[in-house]
Amino acid sequence: MTFYQLTNIQVNPMKSVLAAITKSPSPEIKFNNTTIKAIDAKASFRFLGCWYTTGKKHTPVHKIIKEEVTNALKWMRRARITDKQAIYIVNTVILTRIAYRIQNTTLAPSTCKQITNSYTNMIKHKAGLASSIPNSTMHHHKYIVLER
């Protein structure tokens, strides 16, 4: 009797991923009469909401995180919401989501700055402010409380 039968857990082998850190050509396992092959070292996979790679480079994960932020900000730019609502969404949803996604990797300071600039510019647009206003104004505690 297997662990899955003992605990009455059903696993879909078609959605399962084999993440192997090995030098052999193509490791594979057999699970419920289905052969699962290891993913490519350059490919990324998601587990419990976080993105992982089996290789040393985390570039695919960084790309996915940046795409998620870009898509969320595109949606917010088109949405009919106020600047205060946009600030709330950025602070409580987008930044929290990024913090959860990067638990297993680190973003370069330049990437962090790029993400910060993109949501700061979107908030400026929503507030009807000129894009030439310094970003430090957006993070000042007496005016607009936008987290970094």
Could you give the number of structural domains in the chain? 2
Does some domain include residue 32?
Answer: yes
Q: Which residue has the higher pLDDT, 50 or 114?
A: 114
Per-residue tokens: 90: 């950025």
pLDDT band at residue 39, thresholds of 50, 70 and 90?
A: confident
Give every CB contact of residue 27 below 8 A, 6+ residues apart in sequence.
Answer: 18, 20, 37, 38
59 shares a domain with 30: no
**Tens of pLDDT, residues 74-119:** 999 999 999 889 999 999 999 999 888 888 888 889 999 999 999 9
85 shares a domain with 107: yes
54 shares a domain with 27: no
89 shares a domain with 25: no
pLDDT band at residue 146, thresholds of 50, 70 and 90?
A: low
Which pLDDT belongs to residue 142? 67
Which pLDDT belongs to residue 70? 94
Domain residues for 92? 50-138
CA distance linking residue 115 with residue 69, whole number of Å: 7
Inform me whether the pLDDT recorded for 22 exceeds 90.
no
* pTM passes above 0.75: no
Does some domain include residue 43?
Answer: no
Does some domain include residue 106?
Answer: yes
127 shares a domain with 85: yes
3-class SS of residue 47: strand
107 shares a domain with 62: yes
3-class SS of residue 90: helix
123 shares a domain with 62: yes
33 shares a domain with 65: no
Angle at 60 between CA 105 and CA 74, to 5 degrees: 95
CA distance linking residue 24 with residue 2, whole number of Å: 27
